[in-house]
Amino acid sequence: MIKMFMGEYHQKLDEKGRLIIPAKIRYELGDNFIITRGLDGCLFIYKKETWDKIINSYQTLPNVKEARNFMRFFLSGATPQNFDKQGRINISAPLIKHASLSKEVVIIGVGDRLEIWSNDNWNKFTEENEDKFSELADSLFSQNLN
């Protein structure tokens, strides 16, 4: 059975940068995971096993400026994490700034990773893209819908 992250969870970030991760996600995520800068103004969280596969694939990239720049962006914010006794993670100040996180955050499951969004940015993303999702699904999956 393929396990994947999915769902949308609304949580609160405290003044110390701690975020409670829902129990269902904690179970799926396991004890060791990585949080890093994500794309589109959010944070990514990967299970350690998935992270290791990503790093192995990055090591095969050519030593060109675009690859180096992406690696700098992606890896410089990467932090190994585990849960405290209350099921919280501690998000560093640079990552909070990157994702414009404030008190209200949204955690979403996106297959092999979790994403953490500011509530405002998540609402903006969904509002701006809602009308495009049907067309996007058609273009991405039309060949497989027979």
Write the pLDDT tens digit of every residue in 101-140: 999 999 999 999 999 999 999 999 999 888 887 787 777 7
Of 34 and 132, the structure prediction assigns the larger pLDDT to: 34
> Distance (Å, rounded) from C-alpha 135 to C-alpha 61?
32
* Burial class of residue 66 (count of CB atoms within 10 Å of its CB; 0-12, 13-18, 19+): exposed
Domain boundaries, the chain: 8-144
> Distance (Å, rounded) from C-alpha 17 to C-alpha 26?
18
Residue 144 pLDDT level (bands cut at 50, 70, 90): low
Q: How many residues does the chain have?
A: 146
CATH of the domain spanning 8-144: 3.40.1550.20
Residue 11 pLDDT: 97
Residue 99 pLDDT level (bands cut at 50, 70, 90): very high
